[in-house]
Structure 1
Amino acid sequence: MKNVTSCFGKTFGPVGSFSGVVLFTLGVVFFIMGYLGAIILVLIGAFIAFTKPYTTIDFEQRRVRSGDLLFGVAKTGKWQKIQADMQIGFWHSNKVYRTYSRSNRALDITQEQDLICLFDKRGKKLMNLQRLDNATSKDVELDRLSKLMGIERMG
């Protein structure tokens, strides 16, 4: 097993992503109708709609990379070596995206995720490694990643 890549939702949240899809679609329609300036809408919409955070683990070279998939294709981020004093453990993420309507009403969208994360020797979270599904046994997956990466579990 060489590389494993995991994605963690949308960079601009669910409302931003939907807005990007609308801009992208409108840009494509206007471009087909002959408006060359619509290519700007296509690019902006594609960037907002399809950009998402990701992490890649390279087990053979013992390194990880966390960044964004720009436009859903181009990877950013720098490789970081996995050191012997690093640990992996669970992290419960509870993100709330808030959007205001024109009538100044708030729309809150909550996204809860259970994640396996990489921690330094002091217990500080460095990056997300993998999102856990409800069907996946958390301890089994954590043990598997711990063995493949050659580092210990937290606590």
Structure 2
Amino acid sequence: MIIDNKIERILTGPSIFLGITFFFLGSAFIINGDWMLGIPFLLVACFLLFTFSGVEINTDKQQIKTYYKIFGLIKRGKWISLNKFKGVTLVHMKKTQTTFSRSNRQTSTTNKYFQIYLVNKANKPELPIKRCKVLEEAQNNLDEFSIWLKIPVFSIIE
């Protein structure tokens, strides 16, 4: 069985707004007949909006591939063996992003989520394999990964 999980976008926050802006600018240039300026704007917009990182797990071959999906189409990554990992764990994450305006006012956004990691031989979380917003969903997924990959669950790291 192959499990494919989208982990996160490469660029978040203001970059998404920039991608949307570039998309509308590129579309406007193309509608007005300026193809030479519109196409580069659309290419940058597609890169900003559709590129993300993910993980693909082949449970039959006991392999994992971390990848970047460029433009949402081209998947680039390398397969590694699951034998170098000894378990899975759940980590509570808090990501804060701060943006400053031209008048030096700051706006902060905080995202809280749970991430399931593969644990290396040194008992450290090494490779994220799933992101969840709710604790119950994360715990259910943790149990599923433990069964699918035939590796133990380590205690929750706060």
Q: Same fold, TM exceeding 0.5?
A: yes
For the 8 Å contact 2:89–2:125, the answer to whether it is kept is: no
Q: Quote how far apart the aligned CAs of 1:137 are.
A: 4.2
Query: Which stretches in structure 2 are left out of the alignment for 5+ residues?
Result: none
Query: Which stretches in structure 1 are left out of the alignment for 5+ residues?
Result: none
Amino acid at match of 1:94: K
Q: Tell me which residue corresponds to 2:32.
A: 33
Question: How far apart in 1 are the matches of 2:111 and 2:58?
Answer: 28
Root-mean-square deviation (Å): 1.8
The more displaced of 107-116 and 84-93 is 84-93
SS of the aligned residue for 1:104 comes to coil
Q: Quote how far apart the aligned CAs of 1:84 are.
A: 6.3
Q: Tell me which residue corresponds to 1:21.
A: 20
Question: How far apart in 2 are the matches of 1:59 and 1:111?
Answer: 31
Q: Quote how far apart the aligned CAs of 1:67 are.
A: 2.5
SS of the aligned residue for 1:60 comes to coil
For the 8 Å contact 1:52–1:68, the answer to whether it is kept is: yes
Q: Quote how far apart the aligned CAs of 1:135 are.
A: 7.2
Q: Quote how far apart the aligned CAs of 1:150 are.
A: 1.6
Question: How far apart in 2 are the matches of 1:40 and 1:137?
Answer: 40
Q: Tell me which residue corresponds to 1:95.
A: 95
For the 8 Å contact 2:66–2:77, the answer to whether it is kept is: yes
Question: How far apart in 2 are the matches of 1:128 and 1:47?
Answer: 23
Q: Tell me which residue corresponds to 1:150.
A: 150
Paired positions, count: 154
For normalisation by structure 1, the TM-score amounts to: 0.88
The more displaced of 133-142 and 49-58 is 133-142
SS of the aligned residue for 1:45 comes to helix
For normalisation by structure 2, the TM-score amounts to: 0.87
